[in-house]
Amino acid sequence: MSDIQPTPRVPMLSKEEAAKRAAELGLPKGFSGLSVFRLMLQHPVLAGKVANLLSMLLGEGNKLDARLRELIIMRIGWTRGSNYEWTAHWGVCMNLEIPAADVLAVQGDWKAYSAYSDADRAVLQATDDTLQNGAISSSTWEELNKVLTTAEERIEIVIAIANWNMFSQLLLSLQVPLEEGKTSWPPEGEVPPAAQNPVHLDL
C-alpha cells in the first residue's frame, strides 16, 4: 500500500493548540494528539460533544462487551474502506488480546469463520444489516436478544454501530491522515476493497 496520506480538507491544528483546546474542554488527554481531534477541535463545541459520546462508548459507563464493540468497529472500518478507523482500532484489539485471526475474519465472509461465538455473529450481522439496509432486521434482533441480556446493551449496540459508521464517514470525507509513524492496515498491509476503488465526490 502507498505510504502517501490524504490531505485533510480542513486544516489540522498544531499539537500544542489542539492540546490547549482539549484541556479547555476537559477532554481526555490522549484525544488531542489524534489526527481526527486535531482537525475536529477547529469546532471545539462539536468536538467536545463527540468526545463525550466516544469516551462513554469506550469505557466510561459503557455496557457493551469490549470485544463485541471492536468487532463492530473493525467490520465497519473494513467495509467502508476507512484506513484510519481500521488502523487505530487494530491497536485497540491487540491491547484487548483479541486473536488476530478473529479480527482479520471480519474482512471477508465472516459467517464462514468457525471460531466466532453466537454473540460475535449476532453483532456482526447487526452491523451488516445497518450498513446495507439502514437498520437491524427483526430476525437479527431476535438473535441479539439471546446474547445481549439488558436494555442498556441493546440500546448501546445501536448507538455503537451508528457512532463508528459516522466516524468512518467523517474520517473519509474530511480525509483525516494517520498519525505520524503509524502504518496502514496492519498486520499485512492489505487494502480493503472499498479503498481500492474510492468514490470521488468532486462534482
Considering the domain architecture, whether residues 55 and 68 belong to the same structural domain is answered as no
Residue 146 to residue 144: CA distance in whole angstroms: 5
- The set of cell numbers assigned to 9 is 480538507
Considering the domain architecture, whether residues 77 and 53 belong to the same structural domain is answered as no
Nearest to 126 by CA among 167, 157, 155, 102: 157
192 neighbors 2 (Cβ within 8 angstroms) = no
Is 121 contained in some domain? yes
Considering the domain architecture, whether residues 42 and 93 belong to the same structural domain is answered as no
Considering the domain architecture, whether residues 57 and 68 belong to the same structural domain is answered as no
Residue % of the chain over a pLDDT of 70: 89
pLDDT at residue 166 is higher than 90: yes
**Mean pLDDT for the chain?**
90
Considering the domain architecture, whether residues 88 and 182 belong to the same structural domain is answered as yes
Q: What would the pLDDT profile of 15-37 be if each residue is shown by its tens digit?
A: 999 999 999 999 998 999 999 99
Q: What would the pLDDT profile of 109-153 be if each residue is shown by its tens digit?
A: 999 999 999 999 999 999 999 999 999 999 999 999 999 999 999
Which strand (E) or helix (H) includes residue 164?
Answer: helix 151-173
Considering the domain architecture, whether residues 138 and 55 belong to the same structural domain is answered as no
pLDDT at residue 74 is higher than 70: yes
Amino acid 203: pLDDT: 24
Considering the domain architecture, whether residues 84 and 119 belong to the same structural domain is answered as yes
Q: Give me the number of domains the chain comprises.
A: 2
Residue 15 to residue 92: CA distance in whole angstroms: 22
Domain that holds residue 151: 64-189
